[in-house]
Amino acid sequence: MFPPAVLSRLRCPKCGAGLHQPAPDGLVCEQGHAVPVRDGYLDASNTPPDRETARLFASFGYEHVRFDRLPPEDELVWRRYFGDVPFDELREGVALDAGCGTGRFSRFLAERMAAVVALDGSEGVLAAARNLEAHANVSVVRADFRSAPLAPESFDFICCIGVLHHLEAPRQAFDALVRLLAPGGRLLVFLYSRPPRGTLRAAVVDASTTLRRLTLHLPGAVVQALSLLIAAALYVGLVLPGRLGEAFGIEPLAALPLRMYRRLVPWSLWHNVFDVLKAPLERRYVWAEVEHWYRAAGLEVERVQEDDGLVILARRPLP
């Protein structure tokens, strides 16, 4: 469960000392503090979260426990986000999946890197632990990555997919990720992008934002049912016509939004609609608004993809 490469990067959440593994049911630090293993994950959530963080973790915990499957077409999403990451250079390194949710991307990282820490602060770690059980080089840890008990500058690759735009202070969270990145390491971030005003995609985003003001106050089961209806309407009204437009060269149809879902099963759209309607906070960005984050952190930006989302790959220079 905890390969040496991972164990050397973990720290005690109480005192910051190194950890060792005396028994299968947990770790112990050099000062004698115990960090328990529960249901297949290391519970390093030592400090009770503040009100906003607790609300966020409750929302995503509900989501990841109920939408816990790993659809096979996730490999298409993986290629879209991770396609330019030079894993040949990183193969012997250790990865951090910050905000791993169900472990959908940790499983692909496990095939490409020596070891992986799948980190999440919510009950999503229950789903991640189940989904990643077969990967001996993956360690699932429950902790908030903004204050996680991890050694600084120790991870060769960090990904944070679909997380920062849900946080109250995304810039500070970004800086926390940078502090964990080793010199020469890569950081991959996915953010919701803000579409140009007057476009159909902008209208869809505005409608979802308005609807979320209501759905945030509804029970999760009600939002699940409502999300299913909305996903069905979007699939029939936008995804299927877009697929036909691509197949037959009908440009007005091919230009419809939600292009990514043309190659995914409808379940994925349902899941993402629920995510949009139930997340307590959502921000959207264009590259010009976050470029200074990378400049201030001293990172070298290697790739920016700005379409249905904002995908940014950057490298921390060697000293």
Kindly report, residue by residue over 72-95, the tens digit of the pLDDT: 778 888 999 999 999 999 999 999
Question: Is residue 58 included in any domain, yes or no?
Answer: no
Distance CA 118, CA 262 (A): 29
Whether 218 and 266 share a structural domain: yes
Higher pLDDT, 74 or 218: 218
Kindly report, residue by residue over 230-245, the tens digit of the pLDDT: 999 999 999 999 999 9
* Integer CA distances (angstroms), 229 to 21, 165, 226, 246, in order: 48, 25, 5, 25
Whether 259 and 309 share a structural domain: no
pLDDT band, very low/low/confident/very high, at 219 (cuts 50, 70, 90): very high
Average confidence (pLDDT) over 251-278:
92
Whether 169 and 291 share a structural domain: yes
Distance CA 121, CA 149 (A): 12
Domain count, the chain: 2
Torsion angle defined by CA atoms of residues 215, 192, 315 and 301, in that order, rounded to the nearest 10 degrees? -160
Question: Is residue 57 included in any domain, yes or no?
Answer: no
Question: Is residue 60 included in any domain, yes or no?
Answer: no
Higher pLDDT, 77 or 311: 311
Distance CA 115, CA 222 (A): 39
Structural domain for 205, as ranges? 200-278
Write down the pLDDT at residue 163. Answer: 97
Whether 154 and 296 share a structural domain: yes
Write down the pLDDT at residue 48. Answer: 74
pLDDT band, very low/low/confident/very high, at 25 (cuts 50, 70, 90): confident
The CATH number linked to 292 is 3.40.50.150
Predicted TM-score of the model (pTM): 0.92
Statement: residue 38 has pLDDT above 90:
yes
